[in-house]
Amino acid sequence: MSHLSLAGELREMIRLLMRRLGVLEKSEASCCGITLGQCHALIEIGRAGEISLNELAELLNVDNSTMSRTVNNLVSNELIERVINPEDRRYVKITLTEKGEQMFKEIEENMGSYFKHILEAIPEDKHQQVVESLRLLMGAFKKANCC
């Protein structure tokens, strides 16, 4: 297979993977009653413990105004709270509320179970190969400075 057709196949497989995971329907899809964008933010906040708006926007590869709207919705849903740094009022930390912590744990459990089932559908001797291939792919995205 030529390099060009292999690159085309890679593009097609990534396109189908994104569609399968629901990436293209972010605004319409929901996760535990919140949008997928809010779900991704909730996961990153939960994993970090506390994070700034700028750090969260950078992690999720969205602009600050989009991240601000997402955070506002999560605050309105009482899933996260903003904590102002008393030493520097311009720095606001974002943390999970108790309700947000519960939802974070539920999402992590559900996703862990979901991907465990997916892995079980792959022959066991290929598990490491699949994970290693995805690591290489993510590294290539970073080197190419895209996506």
Task: Identify the band that residue 4 occupies on the pLDDT scale cut at 50, 70 and 90.
Answer: low
pLDDT at 89: 79
Could you tell me if 73 and 37 are in contact, meaning their C-beta atoms sit under 8 angstroms apart? no
Could you tell me if 93 and 83 are in contact, meaning their C-beta atoms sit under 8 angstroms apart? yes
pLDDT at 24: 45
Could you tell me if 85 and 93 are in contact, meaning their C-beta atoms sit under 8 angstroms apart? yes
- What does the domain layout of the chain look like in residue ranges? 3-144
First-to-final CA distance of the chain: 25
Task: Identify the band that residue 51 occupies on the pLDDT scale cut at 50, 70 and 90.
Answer: very high
Specify the DSSP class assigned to residue 125: G
Q: How much is the average pLDDT of 32-60?
A: 92
Task: Identify the band that residue 23 occupies on the pLDDT scale cut at 50, 70 and 90.
Answer: low
C-alpha pair distances (Å), 97 with each of 14, 44, 127: 35, 14, 36
pLDDT at 63: 93
* pLDDT 10s digits, 109-147: 988 888 898 889 999 999 999 999 999 998 898 888 765
The fold adopted by the segment(s) 3-144 is Arc Repressor Mutant, subunit A (1.10.10)
Catalogue the E-assigned strands of the chain. 30-31, 34-35, 51-52, 80-84, 92-96
pLDDT at 3: 63
